A and B are shown apart, each in its own frame.
Chain A
Amino acid sequence: MIAVCCYFQVHQPFRLRKDYRFFDIGLHHQYDDDATNRAIIQKVAAKCYLPANAIMRELIDRHEGAFRISYSLSGVALEQFARYAPEVLESFQALVATGCVELLGETYYHSLAFLFSPQEFRAQVAAHREKVRECFSVDPCDTFRNTELIYNNALAAAIEQLGYRVILTEGADHILGWRNPNFVYQPAPSYRLRLLLKNYKLSDDVAFRFSNRDWDEFPLNAEKYARWITATAGNGEVINLFMDYETFGEHQWADTGIFEFLRHMPGEILKHPDFVFRTPREVAMYYPPVAKIDIPYTISWADIERDTTAWLGNPMQDSAAEYLYSLERAVHDSHDVALIHDWRKLQTSDHYYYMCTKWFSDGDVHKYFNPYDTPHQAYVTYTNVLNDIRERLRQRHIACG
């Protein structure tokens, strides 16, 4: 049997107040733009989360357990759902309760922590696990996916040590070479951990190209897509379709027909007798790895470069990240839960995405998600907030360099 393995990323950052200014440093400690965050959560809930969850529920019921999917929900998204759109949280809870949904482990803050601080990374993974347990009464202890599928050998080693069985990343051409992503692999340093690689062609057909009128395959319908999927028979064991959940209704609007596509796609695939849907945990159970894959350099699913340059690499991003993590010790020394939470929310990768200056191939995507007019504005706001955090520490006489 060939498995179709769907994983959807659900994440929303806490956006900062754009009017947090120099004059506020040391005096005002309210950083989140509550109004914007509320508006965005409620907008995306109405356009995406609620209708998409309703369809998923319908599909799970209709296929009686044959349609199986997985989600990774960031802690900061869960927190905002509870605050601004509790009905979204409830509908995810109902989906999880069907038993056909696997929840994945990630960092609570959707952060880049692994690249900077192993102990901070582990703490955030634990915090996320706790949050998922609290919200869904399930333990996301089998599958791990790091922020934006950022991955390297060292991450695999750390994740294996934490007891996970499978990890996800991008099926980037430059790491696969002649191999294809439609098999289960194993990270080079691991003996137990499985590695699932995103089939970016088939994933992006939906996530990015679905409504693109310049695409030769436009319009895409469920039948055609199922044909592409099933055409892999004989040349693979698992098709990994990884995408942002906001694909449904938010990136591809309802009027593109994306929901109709979603409603019919699983049925079309299941018409083929050799194909089944499985979650990452199940894939890891059923299929042995065919080979080890060595990924010493960090990759991700972002931009055509498939590296970390969407978040790190220009002087603004690097100085912000260095500054942030230089406060780690002092922040923990404060033993102030609210302050630690504020500092950790600044680790959310989106803040770094907003500071990105490579506006070439993926500039449009970057701009679409950027609440700031310029990356420089994003940097100035971010460092103002960080400077306030540092002042709060110093006001308590905590040494912070």
Chain B
Amino acid sequence: MRALMFGWEFPPQMSGGLGTVCKALTSHLSGQGIDILFVMPCVNGNRPVSPHFRLIGANEIALSNSVVHLYERLSPETLKLLRIDSLLQPYDTLESYSLHVRTLARRIQEYQAAQQGRGERLALHGGYGRDLLEEVRRYAIIGSVLGLQETFDIIHAHDWITFPAAIEAKRVSGRPMICHVHATEFDRTGEHPNQEIYDIERYGLEQADRIIAVSHRTREMLIARYGLPPDKIAVIHNAVSKEKQLERDQIKKGFSEQLVLFLGRVTLQKGPDYFVEAARLVLQALPHVRFVMAGTGDMLPRLIERVAAYRLQKAFHFTGFLQGREVEQIYAMSDLYVMPSVSEPFGVTPFEAMLYHVPTIVSKQSGIAEVLQSAIKVDFWDIQMLAAKIIQVLSDSTFSRELVRRGAAELEQVSWDSAAGHCRRLYEELCRP
């Protein structure tokens, strides 16, 4: 069985939540004998090498060259590199996107100057998209190229930005298509969807043969907001990769206070402002606590100013974006993890915190709350309750140890292998003649 998979993140580059999920899912699927061809807008740096997995990327080489490469049949074990010039980036803001556009515009000019007289330009290289949606359409063309060139049994697309490519691949190949929804436009924008993105998302979901939602919460949203038939949507909860290099006792902490952690994009969807508000309330009652906000995002400057205005500078810290070892370090330093997301389709970070024996509080508005028994659950907006629960965990060590113990037991039951198994059965079901 071969799957043609469209994504936009894959660690080590762009290792946001989606990338992590894609990596874990594909590695377990290929472990179960599924061959995977994973396409993303661009690949920089190392590619994973494994017998059942290929990563096709899209940027350094001009498309004209890569099309030539496509015809040169390489041995199946060799990676093929296919580059699509693309502006695709998750979580772009208006500002950062227009910055990309300006940088690219300069590169196009350089590129066109270099191409003059070479006579090898393909229509696809006629120019670069002026906006994100045009880029999505350009990416879709690659879907049809791959749909013709490659042999596969099923198409699997991760989130709206890859749906048009998947639709194209389905159109030219006639293979069944699965849309995997990690987040909807409503999650990302907090009830202020971009109509065009919603339209693409909805069209893709309508064209899909099956849909995977990462939680019942997301499934309900797809039914209610996208009018999709319930029986088309399967729920496969995410799991967590249990690799770790650090243990709590290996960490040196420069202070004695207990630490409460927020880790994630500092954007509306993640509810960082509720974390600040709760911290303020907690610090009025328990002065010997520190709060850390790890991550970056468009709300960060505002929240730094708010923390300053509340005069929490002694006890509230910002680390900026963390990766790799630092993420492990901050988890291992923490005494409590809080995920106050306003709208979280799944939200895997509480699992990660639990790996480091950190008790967790999650918002009821998160998909993980459906599966997590050992976490405290609050409404994201209920800062009084959130503060009360933080105080309870920090001041009652028996309670906190019990949460950790139950968390560890629960984590035993969570595995990517079973999530991948579920996914594989779905493939088989769809490919059955």
- Residues of chain A touching chain B, judged by Cβ–Cβ distance below 8 Å, are 21-28, 314-316, 318-320, 322-323, 374, 376, 379-380, 383-384, 386-388, 390-391, 394
Contacts and interface: CB of A to CB of B under 8 A. Distances in A.
Given A22-B292, A23-B326, A319-B309, A391 B304 contact: no
Contacts of A26: 253-255
8 contacts: A21-B319, A25-B255, A316-B304, A318-B308, A319-B309, A323-B314, A374-B301, A376-B301
B329 interface: yes
Q: Which of A314, A383, A391 has the most CB of B within 10 A?
A: A383
Contacts of A319: 308-309, 311, 313
The 10 A-B residue pairs whose C-beta atoms are closest, nearest first, are A26-B254, A315-B309, A27-B254, A315-B308, A319-B308, A316-B308, A26-B255, A376-B304, A22-B317, A383-B313
A323 B305 CA distance: 15
Nearest to B317: A22
Contacts of B301: 374, 376
Contacts of A28: 254
A135 B301 CA distance: 43
The interface residues of chain B, by DSSP majority, are classed as mixed
B255 A23 contact: no
Interface string B295-331: 0000011001110110101100111100000100100
B192 interface: no
Contacts of B305: 314-316, 376
Contacts of A318: 308
A380 B318 contact: yes
B326 to A, nearest CB: 7
Interface of B: 252-255, 292, 300-301, 304-306, 308-309, 311, 313-314, 317-320, 326, 329
Nearest to A314: B305
Majority secondary structure, A binding face: helix
Contacts of B318: 22, 380
Contact of A24 (B254, B306, B314, B329): B254
A197 B38 CA distance: 71
A320 B313 CA distance: 8
Residue from A22, A314, A322, A390 with most neighbouring chain B CB atoms (10 Å): A22
B101 to A, nearest CB: 21
Contacts of B292: 22
Contact of B317 (A320, A376, A387, A390): A387
A128 B353 CA distance: 51
B36 to A, nearest CB: 37
A24 B326 CA distance: 12
Contacts of B311: 319, 322-323
Given A374-B301, A379-B304, A391 B255 contact: yes
Given A316-B308, A374-B301, A27 B252 contact: yes
Nearest to B304: A376
Contacts of A387: 313-314, 317
Given A374-B301, A383-B313, 5 more contacts: A21-B319, A315-B309, A316-B308, A319-B308, A376-B300
A23 B326 CA distance: 9
B53 to A, nearest CB: 35
B319 A23 contact: yes
Interface centre among A374, A379, A384, A386 (most CB of B within 10 A): A379
Contacts of B319: 21-23
Nearest to B312: A319
B329 A23 contact: yes
Nearest to A21: B319
